[in-house]
């Protein structure tokens, strides 16, 4: 184990320095965004963008990974959306902006992406017959829209049904049983249908 020692020592020094560097980058990115982007984009953890077509930065954080964003800023996102000002960013500025955008992804992200995953699972497995959104009709007239199911079902019973499969009562329905992670994601999505 003697060989590992120098590495350990190095890591102990490098880690706090990295964390401090990251915090500085985020602060610099926020400053740049405040100057250049807030005319159109919301850059806070909540709220709407001043210009409705501009996605809030926290949404951007969900759709891109770090490398894509840095490259995007360097190549000039102006190409893809004409409304955006033509702005030459330097590599450090692109990295700072990206660090800031990514920092907005934490916090809200887990719950929202759970629901998004739940939606995808239902779309893949159930939307053939059931309406899975807030307003449409079920493609199969006999299959109740999930927004009704979620209001009528006891949440525990629904959770159990998803995990163990719903076989009784409807022979038209395919058999299915979801993993616990998937059940959590589906329930997270179904919860969003509950509000009237
Ligand atoms: C004049 C308004 C305006 C300003 C200022 C602006 N944007 Fe945008 N931005 C938009 C609009 C509108 C869109 C959506 C365009 C679309 O989806 O085609 C957008 C989209 C984006 C996207 C997402 C691109 C995609 O493909 O999903 C990123 C990233 C982005 N802007 C970053 C920035 C950054 C960083 C700044 C500041 C340096 C900035 N924007 C300043 C209007 C603006
Ligand atoms: C092939 C069509 C079909 C597919 C696909 C389908 N269902 Fe159904 N489902 C039905 C029908 C039809 C009913 C109503 C049957 C009845 O009440 O006898 C139903 C009923 C239900 C009920 C019970 C509603 C109640 O009030 O008792 C639940 C819960 C349900 N489905 C969940 C799901 C889930 C979750 C999926 C996807 C994994 C799914 N279904 C996929 C056709 C389908």
Mean pLDDT of 164-186: 75
Query: Considering only CA atoms, which of 97, 96, 79 is closest in space to residue 37?
Result: 97
14-107 and 110-192 in the same fold: yes
Rounded mean pLDDT of the chain? 76
pLDDT value at residue 145:
92
**Residue of 167, 170, 171, 185 with the most ligand 2 atoms within 8 Å of its CB, for mutation:** 170
**Residue of 118, 124, 126 with the most ligand 2 atoms within 8 Å of its CB, for mutation:** 126
Which top CATH class is 14-107? mainly alpha
Query: pLDDT tens digit string along 118-132?
Result: 888 888 888 888 998
Point out the ligand nearest to the CA of residue 39: 1
**Residue extents of the structural domains in the chain:** 14-107, 110-192
**CB of 166 shorter than 6 A to ligand 1:** no
Is residue 6 scored above 50 in pLDDT?
no
Query: pLDDT tens digit string along 132-152?
Result: 888 889 999 988 999 998 888
What would the CATH number be for the domain defined by 110-192? Answer: 1.10.760.10
pLDDT value at residue 9:
41
Give just the sign of the alpha carbon dihedral 71, 73, 79, 83: positive
């Amino acid at each position: 184990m003697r060989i590992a020692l120098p590495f350990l020592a190095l890591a102990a020094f490098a880690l706090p320095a990295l964390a401090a560097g990251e915090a500085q980058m985020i602060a610099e990115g926020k400053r740049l965004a405040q100057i250049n982007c807030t005319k159109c984009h919301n850059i806070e953890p909540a709220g709407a963008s001043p210009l409705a077509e501009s996605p809030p930065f926290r949404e951007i954080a969900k759709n891109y990974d770090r490398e894509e964003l840095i490259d995007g800023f360097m190549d000039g996102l102006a190409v893809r959306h004409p409304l955006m000002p033509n702005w030459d960013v330097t590599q450090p500025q692109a990295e700072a902006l990206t660090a800031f955008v990514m920092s907005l992804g934490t916090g809200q992200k887990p719950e929202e992406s759970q629901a998004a995953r739940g939606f995808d699972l239902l779309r893949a497995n159930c939307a053939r017959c059931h309406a899975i959104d807030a307003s449409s009709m079920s493609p199969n007239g006999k299959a109740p829209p999930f927004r009704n199911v979620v209001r009528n079902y006891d949440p525990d019973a629904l959770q159990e049904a998803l995990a163990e499969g719903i076989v009784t009562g409807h022979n038209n329905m395919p058999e299915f049983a979801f993993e616990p992670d998937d059940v959590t994601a589906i329930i997270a999505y179904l919860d969003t249908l509950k509000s009237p």
